[in-house]
A and B are shown apart, each in its own frame.
Chain A
Amino acid sequence: MEQKNKYSIIVPTYNERLNIALIVYLIFKHLRSRDVDFEIIVVDDGSPDGTQEVVKQLQKLYGEDHILLRPRPKKLGLGTAYIHGLKHASGNFVVIMDADLSHHPKYLPSFIKKQLETGASIVTGTRYSKGGGVHGWNLMRKLTSRGANVLAQTLLWPGVSDLTGSFRLYRKSVLEDVISSCVSKGYVFQMEMIVRASREGYHIEEVPITFVDRVFGSSKLGGSEIVEYLKGLVYLLVTT
């Protein structure tokens, strides 16, 4: 008996009024034609720019069974946004992705395909493998990224090439299990998720993805981020 799979795509948003519409369009473009059963769960943290109004318009266009708006009153953090979205997810698989178009929905079919082929519990997107890549990073940014990655690989032996990536497909039960034991914030949270999953012995596969960094207001990587990262590494080294 074949069980039909349903994919719940959780997209946390904050002031993504334009991007959320674009992302929803692109998700439909790449999944609808492939007979994939999915829903998009938008977890908006009380955006003042009218993101929720745009989502409501999208609901009229695409249907409320495909687009779920589950807002929160204010910015409460990424980890809790996923937990909140999980509560409303009716699929047996969950995809997490960013709303700012750095993650392109065109890779969703390859995530799904990889999972079906291998039966993996987690499929994570990697920017560092052949077929993947980054655009919009200067030399300094690439150096920091590469240095951070080598350090993390040496210390943690994580079994994945891209630790801080946040474009991932999880079996719903696995996500629920892993997320309950994670306490970090920000991108260290993404690292903690995948390292804990790896320690638990979950089957993790990777697919190459391309990452186009924000064209406007590209996030700078300052000294405090580096300190946070190192603290995160030591924390993961000692507690996982």
Chain B
Amino acid sequence: MKHVLKIFSLLLVISALWIGLLQASILPQSHTWLLPIYFIVSLGCYGLLMVGVGLMRFPTCPQEALLLQQDIAEAKGFLKQSGVDVGCK
């Protein structure tokens, strides 16, 4: 099934549940009408939270830059000896 169809079916199920709640009057009508808004806002907040947490825990590797420089020096040394042109750019 195409991915977008999966998302549509999910939204359809959620809408059906919402309409069911409206009709069954388990919760006060005024609250039920606002449920979609709550849902969208919670989704937005969850997204922002994920971005924030991910940003805080973003993996960095400063030591890799140093290791890379060492590798470059080693490579340049070998290649120069072997006759490959690695002249400074």
Contacts and interface: CB of A to CB of B under 8 A. Distances in A.
Interface string A149-165: 11100101100000000
Contacts of B83: 57, 60-61
Given A58-B84, A127-B59, A133-B60, A101 B68 contact: yes
Interface stretch (B13-21, B24-32, B34-42, B70-78): B70-78
A168 interface: no
A154 B85 CA distance: 48
A53 interface: yes
A77 interface: no
A237 B3 contact: yes
Place the interface of chain A in its size category: 35 or more
A135 B65 contact: yes
Nearest to A55: B84
A142 interface: yes
A5 interface: no
A18 B86 contact: yes
A231 to B, nearest CB: 15
27 contacts: A21-B79, A21-B85, A21-B86, A53-B85, A57-B83, A101-B68, A101-B72, A104-B64, A106-B71, A128-B58, A133-B59, A134-B58, A134-B59, A134-B60, A135-B60, A135-B61, A135-B64, A135-B65, A137-B60, A142-B55, A143-B51, A146-B51, A149-B54, A150-B54, A199-B3, A210-B61, A215-B65
Chain B facing A: main interface SS: helix
A22 B70 CA distance: 12
A21 B75 contact: yes
Place the interface of chain B in its size category: 20 to 34
A154 B47 contact: yes
Contact of B75 (A22, A106, A199): A22
A39 to B, nearest CB: 18
A127 B85 CA distance: 32
A130 B58 CA distance: 9
Contact of A25 (B55, B75, B85): B75
A238 B4 contact: yes
A54 B47 CA distance: 48
Given A61-B82, A150-B47, A150-B51, A22 B59 contact: no
